[in-house]
Amino acid sequence: MATVIAPVGERVETCSLENYLVLPDKSMDARIRAARQALGDRVVVLGHHYQRDEVIRFADFRGDSYKLSQESGRTKADYVVFCGVHFMAESADVLGQSGQQVILPDLNAGCSMADMAEIGQVEAAWEEFVKAGLTNEQGQGITPLTYMNSTAAIKAFCGERGGLVCTSSNAGAAFKWAFARNEKIFFLPDQHLGRNTAYAMGIPLEDCVVWDPFKVLGGLTPEQLRAAKVILWKGHCSVHQRFLPEHVDRVREKYPDIRVIVHPECRWEVCQKADGIGSTEGLIKMIKDAPAGSKFAVGTEIHLVNRMGKEFAPENKKVITLDDSGCLCTTMFRISPQHLCWTLENLVEGQVVNRIQVPDDVKHWAKVALDRMLEVR
């Protein structure tokens, strides 16, 4: 166990994580700073936009999953502490330098969307595509694309079959890349991002079908599979799916001059009513580039919305959530200042906790898929 670094720099008795979790948030600040100073450039802390303020303030880099993937591949630090969720830490391990160690401060920080696509289910679906003559094992016929919000095993599955990973930032470019290789796309695990991306490219909704892994043949007929241009996995983001068309109507009624901007993980009906659609980084840029005095209702995670409300207030920009009962990402919220402090103080003592390691055989093909993602614009 780590020796706790007290605010005054004294050594005190070792503590388990449970001992940290009972301490108040503010008591962690000085200790986190002390640990950061002791570790120097041996550690880099990455923070996703959905992290709570008490954690993200200590991030060397903050961003969406795409931006943080880029940073994780560039850093030369010995340790990458990823304040995000499990699939992000996996990707950092895949893209990292030899000998680099990736740490997730709380192993319970997962992603409900990523959990909606299990590798066995995905392999079973692919076998059905092969039986139906839609593709072969190598992916000649269908290009598999997976959203960043997926396990390393599924990223590897796509990489081995000629596909790639995408984020909401480059999903459109990834679709164009995929269609240049095959007539069909198998997109997982977020049906909403897949549908919104396809529709923005001019693909009619009827050409997109949803594969339900809990139904025979995905709940589809062979004719539907053959006619479809995009086969969507039945998955979604628990936060973004909460936004409804009536939320857009309600906020417009209350603020007639407001601009509604939403993340493409939202339902198609919500995106169609919005004034703008963008990735997390894209939403921030829309607000940043808008003239002073602008008003925005934003359909995304509440921590980011509240943070933008504070950051853009000096420019007299109003930033509110699209839904007054705005939902937080409960898995992102699991990482607390106490988890971060515990992680860093262990590193000071030479102990690596909660290391995320992707098996070598999975890492190879996952890296192929992720490298393709970073090349696609």
Give the 3-state secondary structure of residue 158.
helix
More confident residue, 311 or 13: 311
Fold of 114-237: Rossmann fold (3.40.50)
- Given a cut of 80, whether residue 115 has pLDDT beyond it is yes
- pLDDT value of position 1: 36
Cα 40 to Cα 25: distance, rounded to the nearest angstrom = 23
Question: The pTM is what?
Answer: 0.87
Backbone angles phi, psi at 279, to 5 degrees: -65, 175
209 is written with which tokens? 């079908």
Identical fold between 114-237 and 240-321: yes
Fold of 17-109+332-358: Rossmann fold (3.40.50)
CA Rg, the chain, in Å? Answer: 22
CB proximity list for 354: less than 8 A, separation 6 or greater: 103, 104, 105, 106, 107, 343
CATH for 240-321 is 3.40.50.10800
Q: Choose among 34, 75, 76, 26: nearest CA to 55.
A: 26
More confident residue, 238 or 206: 206
Burial of 12 (0-12, 13-18, 19+ CB in 10 A): exposed
Residue 16 CB coordination number (10 Å): 10
pLDDT average, residue stretch 160-186: 95
CB proximity list for 18: less than 8 A, separation 6 or greater: none
**Where residue 302 falls among pLDDT bands split at 50, 70, 90?**
confident
Helices (H), strands (E): how many in the chain? 17, 14
- Note the pLDDT tens digit of each residue in 123-153: 999 999 999 999 888 889 999 999 999 999 9
Q: Choose among 103, 108, 88: nearest CA to 35.
A: 103
146 is written with which tokens? 């997976």
**Where residue 159 falls among pLDDT bands split at 50, 70, 90?**
very high
- Given a cut of 70, whether residue 283 has pLDDT beyond it is yes
**Residue boundaries of the structural domains of the chain:** 17-109+332-358, 114-237, 240-321
Q: Which amino acid is at 91?
A: S
- pLDDT value of position 73: 81
DSSP string, 68-124: HHHHHHH---SEEEEES-HHHHHHHHHHSPTT-EEE-S-TT---HHHHTS-HHHHHH
Q: Choose among 241, 233, 309, 230: nearest CA to 269.
A: 241
- Given a cut of 70, whether residue 250 has pLDDT beyond it is yes
- Given a cut of 90, whether residue 36 has pLDDT beyond it is yes
- pLDDT value of position 182: 96
Cα 49 to Cα 39: distance, rounded to the nearest angstrom = 24
Average pLDDT, the chain: 90
- Given a cut of 80, whether residue 11 has pLDDT beyond it is no
- pLDDT value of position 90: 93
Residue ranges in the chain assigned as alpha helix (H): 17-21, 29-39, 53-56, 65-74, 86-95, 112-115, 119-131, 152-160, 171-179, 191-200, 222-227, 245-254, 268-273, 280-289, 302-311, 337-348, 360-375
- pLDDT value of position 35: 95
